[in-house]
Amino acid sequence: MAEAGDEDCTQCGRSFSESCNERLIKQVMTEDLVTIHENDTLDIIMDIFSKHHFHTYPVVNDNYDLVGIIDQDIILRILLVQRTPRLDHTHHAAVVSQGEVAKHIMIHHPVSMSADEPLCEAADMMLKHRMDRVCVVDGNKLVGIICKPDILKEIYNLRGSE
């Protein structure tokens, strides 16, 4: 029995779930990336944030391996460390607030997915974990990013409503 919202695609007669599961992340992901190098200083990071206006940036090493992410919350906590609530005063918070390069302040072990996984798996992960974007890797190498607007547009197009 078809689930609610799983009507047949007007273009191909398959269910939307089937179409979504056949579309791969690599067919939708963004490959032209703005990244932060693990040795970039806070000044360089701030320059990247001011030029590109994304909320989150992948952090890579010399081999372009994904090693972490830096988001606006991290930067704001560093800049306003004196305003951090007492409950958030931890050893880790103190270390991060004193960090001088990306590898000291980034979130280690970011969520990532393979480019060969179905688009619906990325959507499921984002919904389950309340994420807006996921780094796409080939092994450890960063190859792209997929975000909710990419998925929304593609699923909308799969429904035949362009």
Assign 7 a pLDDT band (cuts: 50, 70, 90).
very low
Within 8 A by CB and 6+ apart from 137, the residues are 66, 112, 113, 114, 115, 143
Assign 5 a pLDDT band (cuts: 50, 70, 90).
very low
How many domains are there within the chain?
1
Looking at residue 30, which CATH number applies to its domain?
Answer: 3.10.580.10
User: In this predicted model, which residue has the larger pLDDT, 139 or 158?
Assistant: 139
Domain containing 113: what range? 18-158
Domain annotation covers residue 3: no
Return the minimum-mean-pLDDT range out of 44-48, 68-72, 94-98, 106-110: 94-98
Domain annotation covers residue 12: no
Domain annotation covers residue 125: yes
**φ/ψ of residue 133, rounded to 5:** -155, 155
Domain annotation covers residue 25: yes
Q: Which residues of 33-56 are buried (b: 16+ CB within 10 A; e: fewer)?
A: bebbbbebebeebeebbeeeebeb
Domain annotation covers residue 36: yes
